Amino acid sequence: MKRPLAFIIINYNDYETTSRLLNNIKDYKIIDKIYVVDNHSTDDSYEKLLNIKLANLEIIRTKVNKGFADAMNIGGKKAIKDYKKVDIIFSNSDIIINSNENLEELKKTLDQKDIGLVGPVVYEHGKLNRGWKLPTPKQEILINLPMIGKKFKKKLYYEEKHYRYATAKVDVLSFCFFLIKSEALTAIGFFDNKTFLYYEENITSTKLNKTRYISLINNNITVIHDHSVSVDKNINYINKFKILKKSQLYFEKHYNRASKIELFFLKLSAKLTLITLYVRIFIKGGFKK
């Protein structure tokens, strides 16, 4: 019996991009139901979304914006309530998908035994994102260091030969667009909603490691991520950095077994980078939007 496929889009103050994605996927027959979770937008996104007439579309509005993971949980729980056992796509609004056949192939990959999460190759910023390794606390400290952190971050990515076959197992895959079995989602107790934004991927992967499920990248399928359209539009550069580092600290403290001394250096390295950001912005004469 064919498992149903639910497509969940998280929207916040981003009607134009969300409606673009809905128009992109509206004729894809593989999708049984589309849910748009409006994360309590402060503009007229929710009202506009209600005017979109698609037979398999349901608009859900959160009572309050508690963050990305919380919005995913609301959508995921609704899909499971409606279908019981279901394959679920979670997607940012700023995603472009080439064809119904691409989704069919991703779903076939997910339908394999013990596969919990599946992601495509993500094209963003002119580069390919195909997952990464879970970092150690020491690696996170090095990544935080001003000026040289990017050099250490590269070590978290797999070598090109890791992706030489049709699929590749990865520790972590991007949450801008991914598929998950409802059984895997319930096995991890859903997403941790104590972060507002960022690190959902690392947290979920750590939780998934305690189950029988694994994560795969399908190297034959690519989606385009028009990166951070909604985030960049609603959160300025400094605030985005502060949210990122708050989530990083939460992950390290509650999931990655960081010691007290490691947590101290994580905070210190993050503050050093923040200072360099303020200096850079001061020199340029304003905030990046």
Judge whether residue 233 has pLDDT over 80. no
Q: Find tokens 């309590």 and name the residue.
A: 40
4-30 residue pLDDT tens: 999 999 999 999 999 999 999 999 999
Nearest-CA neighbor of 117 among 18, 187, 47? 187
Burial of 110 (0-12, 13-18, 19+ CB in 10 A): buried
Domains and CATH numbers, the chain: 5-284 (3.90.550.10)
How sure is the predictor about 289, in pLDDT bands with cuts at 50, 70 and 90?
Answer: very low
Burial of 151 (0-12, 13-18, 19+ CB in 10 A): exposed
Rounded to the nearest 10 degrees, the angle between the axes of helix 137-144 and helix 260-284 is: 20
pLDDT confidence of residue 265 = 97
127-184 residue pLDDT tens: 999 999 999 999 999 999 988 999 999 999 999 999 999 999 999 999 999 999 999 9
How sure is the predictor about 282, in pLDDT bands with cuts at 50, 70 and 90?
Answer: confident
